[in-house]
Structure 1
């Protein structure tokens, strides 16, 4: 029995709309400024903190965490692109054991939707950054960090929009397949 034949779609989903492709790629860009800021701190630049405020970030553990967080955020954002690319429909053949198999739409939609909700909740207060006290930062640093983190408020909504587009395209393809 050919497992690849069983897992291949009967009807292909429509191409993603241009706005969804742009939104998916934009997710990687909205994460970038805050990641670069954290990497600057890993490299020893206080990045807006006072001398005393920067001390907790000088430990190896803090640096490892900031670097890991920056890379993980970018990788998670990159996964959104899978919702508009072929590898979001068929697992690339180079991946051992599962390569070439069809991605079940809900296996992509469920984690993407949960992630979109979590990201929205996580970053919803970023627009009010300047209303919170940050005594451990310089005035310029407080302003700069606020600006660098503002795009993060878009991450969840962008992911949600791309996820909805993916779901609708695959639901329509499934309906076409069941009426044939």
Structure 2
């Protein structure tokens, strides 16, 4: 749920005036890929995060390697936390864009003021939580799977 508001906010911009086909495809792809990556975190709490589902060839029915799942989740959590923290600092505190420009256009949502800026911040603020929440899920997954592997199986 931390990714959905920003994805929804971006989609109307993809179909606004002044964007070329490539830019529109980029914005839509960014939203779709963000949602796909966010959905993979469900694997840290769902059954398919412990045993590969039947529809995955060659892996179906096998246990998901605990260390691999936690390592990928930890790398993702650290990367997302760093990325969104730096972007917050760069865009709000220093007033720079991701491209490094010192001045943002007057119509840039976070600079425009009013309801546009409020809506922009409301939709993008939850992204700051994506990394830390993924980290919490990774730790919980590690603990749950470690405890399950230590528990003897009843015959």
- Give the structure-2-normalised TM-score: 0.80
Deviations 1:125-165 (A, max 9, x none): 46555442532423233332122100000000110001000
Aligned to 1:116: 77
Q: Does 1:73 align with 2:45?
A: no
1:84-163, aligned counterparts within 5 Å? 84-125=45-86, 129-131=91-93, 132=95, 134-135=104-105, 136-137=107-108, 138-140=112-114, 141-163=116-138
Question: Is the 1:117–1:156 contact (alpha carbons within 8 Å) kept by the matching residues of 2?
Answer: yes
- Point out the structure with the larger helix share: 1
Distance 2:119 2:86 in 1: 16
CA RMSD of aligned residues (A): 2.0
Aligned to 2:7: 35
Q: Which runs of 5+ in 2 are unaligned?
A: 96-102
- Counterpart of 1:165 (choices 116, 140, 148) is 140
Aligned to 1:19: none
Q: Which runs of 5+ in 1 are unaligned?
A: 1-28, 46-54
Aligned to 1:7: none
Question: Is the 1:130–1:142 contact (alpha carbons within 8 Å) kept by the matching residues of 2?
Answer: no
- Give the structure-1-normalised TM-score: 0.70
Equivalenced residue count is: 139
